[in-house]
C-alpha cells in the first residue's frame, strides 16, 4: 500500500453528489509494533480491532488542575476571545471551543509535545507525526446541544485534503464524564468502514439531518448499519482520563441536560507520510487552526 | 396531616410571580406497610429514601411483544391519529405520544388494572387509587430531543389542581434503554424537596431555559443544588422493565442521537384522598386525557 501526496485517484470519495455508501477501509490501522513501545501487544491489538484505547488516569490530578486553570485563563483573555479560532456561544457569551491551543498556549504546547501522547501516536502511525489540529472544548450543563455522529477523517479528507487514514486523536478529560454529561460515544470497530457522505437525500429524515448538521453527515441507514454491527460504547471517565482514537472512528456525543459542564483538550496527530493535498471537496483550504499546513514533525 | 379537597392554604405555591424556591415536602412518601404487600420492607424503605424503585423483568417478553403490537396498531389507526390526545411530530409525521391509552385500548386498560401495578400503587399511597393520566411515548433515534428536568407534581398541582404529593407513576419499557437512547434519569431523594417554580428570571440562562421549556421549569440553581445533594441515576433497562416513582421526583431524559428509538408506557395513580380541585395556577382545567376528573377507583 503506497501513499502519494499527489492528488490522483481518490480512494475515499465523499460529497460527490452521489449516494451514501459504506466502503472498506484501504489503510492499515496500526503501523508500529509492540517492540516500538510504549503500547504493548494487547493494546495494539485492541486498537486494531476497536479503533480506540482508553487510559483512565493518564494525567495526574495536579496536572489536570493546571490545565483547567490555563483553559480558564484563556477563556477570559480578551486577546484570545477576539480571535477567529475562538468559538463563543451567542446566547451565553461563554467560550465553547478554542482551536489551535498548542500554538497559543505554552502550557498546551507542552501537552501536545508530551511523550505520553506523541510516543503513542508515533507508534500507531509508524512514522514521525505533526499536529493537524488541536483544541479545548467546554460544554455547558442544562442544554441539549449534541455533537452528531461523524468520522473526523471524512471532514479532514474532504475539507483539508488529508489523503489517507493515518491520523489519531488524543482527548484528555478535564472534568468528570458520566453517561449523562455528554461523554464521547464511539462505535468500536467502525474505523474499518468508510462512510462516503452523499448529497442525494431521498428521505425527509435525511434532509432534516443534513439541514441540521451540514455536509459530512452520515445517513441514517449508514449509522443504523454501523451501530448494529459494532454497538455503541459510552466512554465515561474522570478528570485526567484520555482516549486515543483512529481518525475514521464513528463518534459523537449526546446533549447534556445535567447541571454538570464538561471540558476536554484534544490533539490530532497526522503521519508525516500523509501530508494533506488540496481539499478533495474542491473547496478552498480551511484556516491553519482547523487544518494545519505546517507539517514540521513534533521533535 | 389531614388533607382537604377544598382549596384553602396552598402548601406548594408555584408560578406565583415570585422567585424560585426549594421547600421541604409536607407529605408522607409511603403510607402503607410491608404487611400490606406486595412490596417488602426493604423496598418500601428504598422508595421512602430514593423516591423510586426499579423492577428489571416486570413484564414477560411475550407480554411486551403484545404491548408493542398494540402500540403499533394504535399509532397507525386513523381514528387514534385524529384525536387531540395523540401527539404527532410535525416533521416526520410519526406518533410521539398517545395520551389516555387506558381508556382507548382494551390491552392498555388491562395493564392499567393489572394487580402488579395497582397493588403496589395502593400500598404506597395507602388507599384506593384512580388513574390521573396514562400514555404511550415513542422517542425516535438520531435526534437530540430531550425531556428537560421536571417534577410531575409541580405540573399536576399548578395545572390540574392536585392538592398534595400522593401519586405515583409506573413506566414500563417496551424497548431496550441504554444510557445512550434517552433512558429515564432521576435524582434519587429529590422527591423530598419541592421546587417552587418562579416567574422572575434574573439571568439570561434562566430566561433561555424558560423560553425553551415553558412554565414549571426548575431554575438552574435549583437543579444544581438538587443534583449536588442527590446525584443523578440513569435508569437503563430491558424491554419489560419498570420504574415506579413518586410524583415529586426530579426527572428527565436526554436526547437520543443513537439510531435506536425507544418506547414506554406509563400510568399515573393518584390516591382517592387526593382528588384534584381547581388548578392552583388559576388557569382552566386541562383536558381529561391530561388530568382526569373521573375519580372512579380502580376496582
Tell me what ipTM this predicted complex has: 0.89
Q: Do the Cβ atoms of B144 and A145 come within 8 Å?
A: yes
pLDDT tens digit string along A191-218? 999 999 876 666 777 777 767 777 788 9
What is the per-residue DSSP string for A220-274?
HHHHHHHHHHH--EEE-B-TT-EEEEETT-EEEE--B-SS--EEEEEEEEEETTS
Among chain A residues, the shortest Cα distance to B253 is held by A257
Rounded to an integer, the average pLDDT of B54-62 is 98
The percentage of chain A sitting over the pLDDT mark of 70, rounded to a whole number, equals 95
Please tell me the predicted confidence (pLDDT) of residue A202: 61
* Cross-strand partners of A55: A242
Q: Do the Cβ atoms of A205 and B92 come within 8 Å?
A: yes
The closest alpha carbon to B178, from B224, B134, B139, belongs to B139
The percentage of chain B sitting over the pLDDT mark of 70, rounded to a whole number, equals 95
pLDDT tens digit string along A125-147? 999 999 999 999 999 999 878 99
Split at pLDDT 50, 70, 90, the class of B143 is confident
Name the residue among B91, B223, B234 with its Cβ closest to that of A180: B234
Name the residue among B91, B148, B205 with its Cβ closest to that of A257: B148
Q: Which three cell numbers stand for residue A35?
A: 517492540
Rounded to an integer, the average pLDDT of B139-160 is 92
Name the residue among B92, B145, B257 with its Cβ closest to that of A149: B257
Helix (H) / strand (E) containing B185: strand B184-186
**What is the dotted CATH code of the domain comprising B21-271?**
2.60.120.620
DSSP assignment, residue A69?
H
Split at pLDDT 50, 70, 90, the class of B163 is very high
Q: Do the Cβ atoms of B254 and A257 come within 8 Å?
A: yes
Q: Do the Cβ atoms of A258 and B145 come within 8 Å?
A: no
Asked if the model's pLDDT at residue A3 lies above 50, the reply is: no
Residues 6+ apart with CB under 8 A from B246: B29, B47, B51, B52, B165, B168, B191
d(CA B83, CA B87): 9
| Extents of the domains making up chain A | 21-271
Q: How many CB atoms lie within 10 A of CB B183?
A: 25
d(CA B288, CA B268): 13
Q: Which three cell numbers stand for residue B4?
A: 382537604
pLDDT tens digit string along B209-224? 767 777 788 988 999 9
Residue with cell 424537596: B193
Asked if the model's pLDDT at residue B9 lies above 70, the reply is: yes
d(CA A2, CA B281): 72
Rg, chain B, Cα only: 18
Please tell me the predicted confidence (pLDDT) of residue B93: 84
pLDDT tens digit string along A41-98? 999 999 999 999 999 999 999 999 999 999 999 999 999 999 999 999 887 788 999 9
Most confident of A21-25, B200-204, B248-252: B248-252
DSSP assignment, residue B63?
H
Average pLDDT along chain B = 92
* Residues of chain A neighbouring B92 (CB-CB closer than 8 A): 204-205, 208
* Residues of chain A neighbouring B179 (CB-CB closer than 8 A): 179-180, 234
Helix axes A204-213, A220-230, angle to 10 degrees: 90
* Residue B252 CA: distances (Å) to CA of A276, B14, B62: 45, 19, 29
pLDDT tens digit string along B75-115? 999 999 999 999 998 877 889 999 999 999 999 999 999 99
Amino acid at each position: 500500500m503506497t501513499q502519494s501526496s499527489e492528488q490522483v485517484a481518490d480512494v475515499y470519495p465523499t460529497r460527490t453528489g452521489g449516494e451514501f455508501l459504506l466502503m472498506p477501509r484501504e489503510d492499515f490501522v496500526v503501523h508500529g509494533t509492540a517492540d516500538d513501545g510504549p503500547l504493548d501487544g494487547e493494546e495494539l491489538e485492541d486498537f486494531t480491532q476497536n479503533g480506540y484505547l482508553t487510559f483512565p488516569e493518564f494525567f495526574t490530578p495536579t496536572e489536570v488542575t493546571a490545565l483547567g486553570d490555563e483553559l480558564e485563563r484563556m477563556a477570559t483573555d480578551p486577546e484570545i476571545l477576539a480571535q477567529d479560532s475562538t468559538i463563543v456561544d451567542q446566547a451565553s457569551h461563554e467560550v465553547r471551543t478554542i482551536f489551535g491551543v498548542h500554538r497559543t498556549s505554552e502550557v498546551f504546547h507542552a501537552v501536545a509535545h508530551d511523550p505520553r501522547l506523541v510516543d503513542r501516536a508515533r507508534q500507531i502511525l509508524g512514522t514521525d507525526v505533526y499536529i493537524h489540529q488541536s483544541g479545548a472544548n467546554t460544554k455547558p450543563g442544562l442544554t441539549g446541544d449534541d455533537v452528531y455522529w461523524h468520522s473526523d477523517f471524512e471532514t479532514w479528507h474532504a475539507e483539508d485534503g488529508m489523503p489517507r487514514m493515518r491520523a489519531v486523536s488524543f482527548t484528555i478529560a478535564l472534568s468528570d464524564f458520566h453517561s449523562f454529561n455528554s461523554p464521547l460515544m464511539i462505535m468500536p470497530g467502525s474505523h474499518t468502514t468508510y462512510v462516503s457522505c452523499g448529497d442525494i437525500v431521498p428521505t425527509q429524515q435525511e434532509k432534516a439531518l443534513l439541514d441540521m448538521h451540514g455536509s459530512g453527515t452520515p445517513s441514517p441507514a449508514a449509522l443504523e448499519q454501523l451501530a448494529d454491527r459494532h454497538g455503541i460504547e459510552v466512554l465515561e471517565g474522570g478528570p485526567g482520563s484520555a482516549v486515543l482514537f483512529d481518525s475514521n472512528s464513528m463518534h459523537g456525543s449526546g446533549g447534556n441536560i445535567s447541571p454538570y459542564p464538561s471540558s476536554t483538550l484534544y490533539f490530532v496527530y497526522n503521519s508525516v507520510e500523509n501530508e494533506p493535498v488540496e481539499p478533495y471537496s474542491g473547496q478552498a483550504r480551511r484556516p491553519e487552526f482547523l487544518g494545519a499546513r505546517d507539517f514540521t514533525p513534533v521533535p
